[in-house]
Amino acid sequence: MKKYLNLFDFSQKVNYRTEVLSGLTVALALVPEAIAFALIPGFSPLTGLYAAFVLALVTSILGGRPGMISGATGAVAVIFVGLILELKRTFPGIEPTTILNYVFATVIIAGVIQILAGLLRLGKFIRLVPHPVMFGFVNGLAIIIFMAQFPNFYQKGTDVLLSGTSLYTMLGLTLLTMLIIWGFPKITKAVPSSLLAIIVVSAIVIGFGVDTLTVADTIQEGESIKGGFPPLSIPNIPLTWETFLIIIPYAGIVAGVGLIESLLTLNIIDEITETRGSGNKECVAQGTANILSGFLSGMGGCAMIGQSLINTSSGARARLSGITAAVMLLVFIMFGSSLIEQLPMAALVGLMFMVAIGTFEWASFKTFRKMPNSDVIVMVLVTLITAITHNLAVAVLLGVIISALAYSWENAKRIRARKHTDENGVKHYEIYGPLFFGSTTLFAEKFDVQNDPSEVIIDFQESRVADMSGIEALNKITERYAKAGKKVHLRHLSKDCIRLLKNAEDIIEVNMLEDPTYKVVVDKV
């Protein structure tokens, strides 16, 4: 329990000023993101802001990656669009408040699934994500962050681009923000450049009364970001099998998408900070945060790569920055909503543009001629799927599958056999490379059953039987030799291969032991 209470990471020196200022910057950046993501499925801005507060606070305290920021995210918000459509088809005329109850229940169940994933130590499977997939994921997210800022250059409520003075003002303030973020660290790092940029641009806009888009303009009429402490919300839905069947698929998707995005973000922050976080601990923290979010009127979420990069680039490395961000976000909701609504969107847009530029793996372009073609294809494909569909889970899973197939194909071509006949007229086949589903055809082609002598030795010292397809391939080749009246010896099978063959006897006929029933002897020397 002690490791969870170590809020300020006393194991390392903490710069409290940097942590607090960085947390304040993140809190300011969380506001428009949380509002925008809440509006995707048609929720109140407070639903997204409450989720951001709860997730940022809980994961900062319990999470496996100090410095990583969680909150309401677009990847999760999009899932609720499907849930709402399903509810409207199933229950015509369903009330918006009832829909929210189903959403909160979905978030709670998703949290339970995430905790189970952490307790079962499934976080380690993120190691199966290849580097090209990571490149594609990061580049796709950078494109999403970049493109998501362009609606701020349209006239409110329309798809018409700003023009004239309004456009030039927006562009000028955005570029000024980016210039401060880029240039100020070259002078001093005493204050996070992102925070300074927001303060300077906001002071110009508010002080001189500049007519430009503000946070208030992103909120629908009749809505507000002003609220109190997140109210308790116990989902009031029918406890029936029908309800469960509606909720569980979406809860599973929310849990899966949330964990994939969170664990990939954790890996990225690990690389930036040159430290190592705990994936399983993060799974439990994300699950706990989502459960509390569902009970405190929040829409759930996961780790946010943009805000996490803002935090780490500002120098934050401990849990205090995330806790500060969460507390300040609640302060904004309860006491500072009128001030936050005056913040110019140009400052926040410029900040997110710089995040997108910093997120993109520009080094990936240098790998095009140095990486295998399959890796380049995977990287580009994951980038495009992520950027076009915004479905991070599908993009990553497809990338992993394609990478696995490419790896299997390459290994399938590597199986070979060295052949020779000894002084006793016995033919030896020395097998090299793994025998698995992808290499069984090439394996079978190595043998010349009809022309081989009456006794054959197949040596597996440099090979191993990896799966059921390999066992079946062994079974078929020994059957062919048996039908030709020839004797086969299998040599140097590893213990795990022998165990695999014995276990398979209940499923298929395995020619393994030399007795009246079986035709093959296994030689261990």
Residues 125-144 have a mean pLDDT of 83
**pLDDT value at residue 272:** 85
Q: What is the per-residue pLDDT across 354-373, written as a single tens digit (0 to 9) for each? A: 888 887 888 888 878 788 88
Residue 351 in this model has a pLDDT that exceeds 80: yes
Q: Hey, is 361 helix, strand or coil? A: coil
State the pLDDT at residue 207.
Answer: 92
**pLDDT band per the 50, 70, 90 thresholds, residue 12:** low
> If you average pLDDT over residues 418-442, what whole number do you get?
91
Spell out the residues 6+ positions from residue 362 whose beta carbon is closer than 8 angstroms to its own: none
What confidence tens digit (pLDDT) does each residue in 148-185 have? 888 889 887 777 888 899 999 999 999 999 999 999 88
Q: Does 333 score more than 80 pLDDT?
A: yes
Give the DSSP H or E segment for 428.
strand 427-432
Amino acid at 184: F
Domain spans, the chain? 14-403, 416-523
Instruction: Note the CATH number of domain 416-523.
Output: 3.30.750.24
Query: Which residue in 345, 268, 265, 349 sits closest to 304, CA to CA?
Result: 265
Please determine, for residue 497, whether its predicted confidence score (pLDDT) is greater than 70: yes
Predicted confidence (pLDDT) at residue 510 exceeds the cutoff of 50: no
Nearest to 103 by CA among 31, 27, 43, 175: 43
SS3 at position 475: helix
- The dihedrals phi and psi of 187, each to the nearest 5 degrees, come to -95, -55
pLDDT in tens, 262-306: 998 998 899 888 888 899 999 999 999 999 999 999 999 999 988
% residues pLDDT > 90 (the chain)? 42
Mean pLDDT of 119-126: 86
What's the pLDDT at 443?
Answer: 92
Mean pLDDT in residue range 435-453: 91
- pLDDT reading at 5 higher than 60: no
Burial (CB count within 10 angstroms: exposed 0-12, middle 13-18, buried 19+), residue 150: exposed
133 burial via Cβ count (<10 Å: 0-12, 13-18, 19+)? buried
With 50 as the cut, is the pLDDT of residue 518 above it? no
As given in the structure block, the two tokens for residue 167 are 């456009």
Q: What is the pLDDT of residues 77-106, one digit of tens each?
A: 878 988 998 999 999 989 989 999 999 999
pLDDT band at residue 322 using 50, 70 and 90 as cut-offs:
very high
Give pLDDT, residue 506: 54
- Written as one string, the DSSP assignment of 180-234 is HHHHGGGT--SS-HHHHHHHHHHHHHHHHT----BGGGGSPTT--S---SPPP--
Neighbour order of strands in the sheet with 416-421: 416-421, 427-432, 455-462, 487-491, 520-523
pLDDT band at 503 (very low <50, low <70, confident <90, very high): low
398 vs 373: CA distance, rounded Å: 16
Q: What is the mean pLDDT of residues 2-15?
A: 52
**What confidence category does residue 522 fall into, taking pLDDT thresholds of 50, 70 and 90?**
very low
Q: What is the mean pLDDT of the chain?
A: 86
